[in-house]
Amino acid sequence: QSVLTQPPSASGTPGQRVTISCSGSSSNIGHNIVNWYQQLPGSAPKLLIYTTNQRPSGVPDRFSGSKSGTSASLAISGLQSDDEANYYCATWDDSLNGPVFGGGTKLTVL
Amino acid sequence: EVLLEESGGGLVRPGESLRLSCAVSGFTVSSNFMNWVRQTPGKGLEWVSVIYTDGSTYYADSVKGRFTISRDNSKNTLYLQMNSLRADDTAVYYCARDFSKGVLNAFDIWGQGTVVTVSS
């Protein structure tokens, strides 16, 4: 099972704001930045947020990230139907000495 | 165009070997930190290995001693040699670039993935 804990599912209606949580520990999120990936059905993951709250070029500002202690969150505002995807958090783990991922959250737009 | 294209996946029996390739276009493989990440329905995304610009290599404990990451600078290609394969190595394998060169472990370019199935 994954080092980082995410809820398996989340949902919202178009236009709504949803948040996805990612829980870790002092050996990972507590001391390191968090990245988020979006994986559309049948596609490879795509970098969505890096350094906890930075967006790569081309990612809308509807997507934002935050961190507090050993947890992180991804917020999506103005939800759209094409936001329906799996979302993964990721960070470095000092104990495992490597990158670790969350188990993923499947976002459904109702 | 920046592109990663994996190949080499397939069906193998436990204990057998397989070599994955990742052809890189649009940037130089030797100037970047290049990773392999795998994905299974049950365990999600799992980091496998990285090769640094200086040639240093690192592995997840689950593959250490069995997998070897390498690159061919003349072919601008990344490889993953997988030996002593086990059923739990069954996954989609992605190559991915870390644009931060290890500072952020942020993978900005991914290939489309190649499927490895280990089964008797």
> Is residue B102 scored above 90 in pLDDT?
no
Considering chain B, what percentage of its residues have pLDDT values greater than 70? 100
Confidence category of residue B100, pLDDT binned at 50, 70, 90: confident
Inter-CA distances, B113 with A28, A80, B39, Å: 27, 27, 9
Would the pLDDT of A102 be above 90?
A: yes
State phi, psi for A64 to the nearest 5 degrees. -145, 155
Q: What is the mean pLDDT of residues A77-97?
A: 96
B44/A104 touch (CB, cutoff 8 Å), yes or no: yes
Find the closest chain B residue to A1 by CA distance: B43
Q: Hey, are the CB atoms on A102 and B100 less than 8 Å from each other?
A: no
Residue B40: pLDDT band with limits 50, 70, 90: very high
Contacts 24+ apart (CB under 8 A), B64-67: B67/B36
Q: What is the mean pLDDT of residues A24-47?
A: 96
Confidence of residue A1 (pLDDT cuts 50, 70, 90): confident
pLDDT, residue B31, reads 95
Chain B positions touching A100 (Cβ under 8 A) are 47
Q: Looking at residue B68, what is its pLDDT?
A: 98
Checking if the pLDDT of B42 tops 80, the result is no
pLDDT level of residue B103 (50, 70, 90 thresholds):
confident
Per-residue pLDDT reduced to its tens digit, B57-83: 999 999 999 999 999 999 999 999 999
Give the range among A103-107, B27-31, B39-43, B108-112 with minimum mean pLDDT: B39-43
Mean pLDDT of chain B: 96
Inter-chain CB proximity A101 and B44 less than 8 Å: yes
Look at residues B16, B20, B11, B39 and name the one whose alpha carbon lies nearest to residue B85: B16
Residue B88 has φ and ψ, to the nearest 5°, of: -80, 5
Tell me if B66 sits within 8 A of B84, measured CB to CB: yes
Closest-CA residue of chain A to B95: A44
State the pLDDT at residue B104: 84
From residue B31, give the alpha-carbon distance in Å to each of A47, A79, B20, B55, B107: 20, 38, 20, 10, 15
B30-34: average pLDDT? 96
Candidates A1, A36, A50, A94: best to mutate against B (most CBs of B within 10 A) is: A50
* CB contacts, 8 Å: B108 with chain A: 47, 50, 56
Indicate if the pLDDT at residue B112 is higher than 80: yes
User: Of the candidates A55, A17, A23, A18, which has an alpha carbon nearest to the alpha carbon of residue A36?
Assistant: A55
Q: What is the pLDDT of residue A15?
A: 97
The overall average pLDDT reported for chain A is: 96
